[in-house]
């Protein structure tokens, strides 16, 4: 995978309006892994892209009335098929972490890249997702030297009182094995 001018060359690009400038681009130091499915537990729907582009219709599903007004985004979404969609350039601040703290630093959006995996807290992720995630992480670290393998966390690690994703079914050991084997 190659990153060119802060965009992943192989990704489908759907630009989100939900981003802003980072305060200090050189402080980019954290990768945050999330999971999302809309509606919960349903895959291959158009609703995640609609949420990240402020086009989610509350009438499409009863659960959307609670979230359709949110202004949120992530840099990347890795679909269950392995397909990748990028919503925000890596040098910009996506709005994925919310109220968060990592090693005493608040406002994790300021210094992190958010990667969403299409999934839930209660189902295993696909091998294609792990493979794409490992490739992406390697590319990010090669492109942005302030990132490292030591600072990859789940959303639940930076917002434990609010979030549980990527959940107990996310296989951290498998991801770390893939990353070691790619070196």
Neighbours of 71 (CB within 10 A): 12
Out of 9, 25, 116, 127, the active site residue is: 116
Q: Any idea how long the chain is?
A: 183
Neighbour count for residue 116 (Cβ, 10 Å): 27
81: left (phi over 0), alpha (psi -120 to 50) or beta: alpha
Instruction: Please say if 66 is a catalytic residue.
Output: no
Active site residues: 116
């Amino acid at each position: 995978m190659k990153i060119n001018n802060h965009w992943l060359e192989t990704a489908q690009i759907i630009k989100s309006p939900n981003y802003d400038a980072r305060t200090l681009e050189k402080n980019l130091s954290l990768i945050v892994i999330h999971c999302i499915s809309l509606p919960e537990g349903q895959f291959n729907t158009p609703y995640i892209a609609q949420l990240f582009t402020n086009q989610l219709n509350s009438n499409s599903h009863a659960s959307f009335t609670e979230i359709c007004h949110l202004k949120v985004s992530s840099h990347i979404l890795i679909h269950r098929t392995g397909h990748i969609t990028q919503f925000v350039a890596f040098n910009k601040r996506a709005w994925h972490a919310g109220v968060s703290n990592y090693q005493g630093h608040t406002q994790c959006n300021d210094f992190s890249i958010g990667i969403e995996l299409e999934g839930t807290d209660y189902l295993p992720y696909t091998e294609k997702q792990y493979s794409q995630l490992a490739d992406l992480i390697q590319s990010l670290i090669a492109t942005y030297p302030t990132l490292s393998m030591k600072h990859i966390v789940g959303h639940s690690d930076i917002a434990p009182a609010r979030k549980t994703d990527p959940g107990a079914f996310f296989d951290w050991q498998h991801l770390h094995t893939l990353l070691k084997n790619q070196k």
